[in-house]
């Protein structure tokens, strides 16, 4: 019996309590045939190319069984048999723990008024960004909504760059001017503050990849709260019509702000809502399920089969943002039930029970992560705020330029 198998009853119970029933759709189909990697094939980008590679080694592998995937318009789906190496699993644990620890520390900084304004934390959803990132390539594109800290990290921004940005410091990844919702990196297009507005941009990025004949895909993420936006369906229609390499990902954490999915959506099977676009629903609390599904979908899309809609069943522990206590529309018992199958804890127990690492070795990772976070906090609080001249930068592409003042004839030259 695999290590993760014993978690399945709890996971299935959670899905029955917190999500929707599944109705199989008729006439499934598969477009062009494509090669499916063997279970021992690693992600195309080696672990050494990971932006936060921590030097983990070990070629020994272990097998796990993931929960089944619900499919729409697919005849076959990803394997539920997963093989992963020691080095990759330890890096996954490191990434997930770093994001969790960073987010919880940011919550403290917010309560201490070191972070102001909007602050949407990713705590509980770490398996999503880490699992997806582990199976796409560094030159693939990603665009997401405003719950973007985890994705900012996996796309290559340092913890220092993220926390400094949240604190509004000049050393932040967008020089203290973007804050929680507007972080960017190479092939990472944010962090977007308007609900659903990033979705047609993601389709546009995918169109650019196709137009330029690039072997690249664009991961376009949105939440269940944006799933009823008209622009989503317009973008999916165009993506299907033009066969764009766009992976639409609905991170379904069960609540759009304080409104449950049951109260907001007539069709709760979000992965079926792409009409002609095939879909898949994945246990978003199982990082290996996300990893395996993404690997399979990426190969399918790179073979020229067009867009796919993935729904990740996940959960956020904190409120919609730091101004939301997150307890007025859901019970503490509901939150606790999900914590029993916490995605970070599940990875830690799987590593130990499969003898890939000892508890002592993982404690060393925990210690290292806490040190990284603490150093980032100290660095951020010691960093200066942006100079007032930064108000005018990144508005126009060339310098110098003239900014018109409030009164006739009043001008300011920015150089």
Distances (CA, A) of 103 to 36, 65, 74, 406: 36, 29, 36, 41
Distances (CA, A) of 233 to 222, 239, 274, 297, 415: 12, 10, 7, 20, 43
Residues 6+ apart with CB under 8 A from 60: 85, 86, 356
User: Distance between CA atoms of 352 and 348, rounded to whole angstroms?
Assistant: 6
Residues 6+ apart with CB under 8 A from 103: 121, 122, 123, 149, 150
Please report the pLDDT score of residue 351 as a whole number: 97
Question: Of the candidates 273, 279, 268, 287, which has an alpha carbon nearest to the alpha carbon of residue 310?
Answer: 279
Question: Of the candidates 151, 222, 229, 141, which has an alpha carbon nearest to the alpha carbon of residue 183?
Answer: 151
Please report the pLDDT score of residue 124 as a whole number: 96
Q: How many CB atoms lie within 10 A of CB 207?
A: 17
Please report the pLDDT score of residue 18 as a whole number: 45
Question: HSE (CB half, 13 Å, CA atoms) of 82?
Answer: 30
Please report the pLDDT score of residue 36 as a whole number: 42
CATH number of 4-384: 3.40.50.970
State the 10-residue block means of pLDDT for the chain, 415 residues long.
Answer: 43 43 33 41 58 88 94 96 96 98 97 95 97 97 97 97 97 95 96 95 98 98 96 98 98 95 96 98 97 98 98 96 92 94 96 96 98 98 92 76 87 83
Please report the pLDDT score of residue 398 as a whole number: 74
- Report the predicted TM-score, pTM, of the whole model to 2 decimal places: 0.86
Please report the pLDDT score of residue 403 as a whole number: 83
């Amino acid at each position: 019996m695999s290590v993760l198998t014993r978690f399945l009853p709890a996971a299935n119970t959670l899905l029955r309590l917190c999500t929707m029933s599944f109705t199989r759709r008729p006439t499934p189909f598969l477009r062009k045939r494509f090669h499916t990697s063997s279970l021992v094939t690693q992600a195309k980008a080696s672990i050494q190319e990971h932006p936060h590679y921590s030097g983990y080694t070990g070629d020994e592998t272990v097998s796990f069984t993931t929960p089944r995937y619900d499919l729409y318009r697919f005849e076959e789906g990803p394997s539920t048999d997963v093989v992963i190496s020691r080095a990759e699993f330890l890096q996954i644990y490191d990434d997930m723990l770093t994001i969790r620890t960073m987010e919880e520390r940011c919550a403290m900084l917010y309560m201490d008024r070191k972070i102001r304004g909007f602050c949407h934390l990713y705590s509980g959803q770490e398996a999503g960004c880490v699992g997806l990132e582990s199976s796409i390539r560094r030159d693939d594109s990603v665009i997401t909504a405003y719950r973007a800290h985890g994705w900012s990290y996996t796309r290559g921004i340092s913890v220092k760059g993220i926390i400094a940005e949240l604190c509004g410091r000049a050393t932040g990844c967008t020089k203290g001017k973007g804050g929680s919702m507007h972080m960017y990196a190479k092939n990472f297009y944010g962090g977007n503050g308007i609900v659903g507005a990033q979705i047609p941009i993601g389709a546009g990025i995918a169109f650019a990849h196709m137009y330029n004949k690039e072997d690249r895909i664009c991961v376009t993420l949105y939440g269940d709260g944006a799933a009823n936006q008209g622009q989503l369906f317009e973008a999916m229609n165009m993506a299907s019509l033009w066969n764009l390499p766009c992976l639409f990902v609905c991170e379904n954490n069960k609540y759009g702000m304080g409104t449950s999915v049951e109260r907001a959506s007539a069709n709760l099977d979000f992965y079926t809502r792409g009409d002609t676009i095939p879909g898949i629903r994945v246990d978003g609390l199982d990082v290996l399920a996300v990893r395996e599904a993404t690997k399979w979908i990426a190969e399918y899309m790179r073979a020229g089969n067009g867009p796919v809609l993935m729904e990740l069943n996940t959960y956020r522990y904190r409120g919609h943002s730091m101004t939301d206590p997150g307890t007025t529309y859901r019970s503490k018992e509901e939150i606790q039930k999900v914590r029993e199958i916490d995605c970070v804890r599940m990875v830690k127990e799987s590593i130990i029970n499969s003898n890939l690492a000892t508890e002592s070795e993982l404690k060393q990772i925990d210690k290292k992560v806490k040190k990284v976070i603490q150093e980032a906090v100290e660095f951020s609080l010691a960093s200066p705020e942006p100079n007032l001249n930064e108000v005018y930068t990144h508005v126009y592409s060339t310098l110098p330029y003239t900014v018109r003042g409030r009164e006739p004839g009043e001008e300011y030259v920015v150089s």
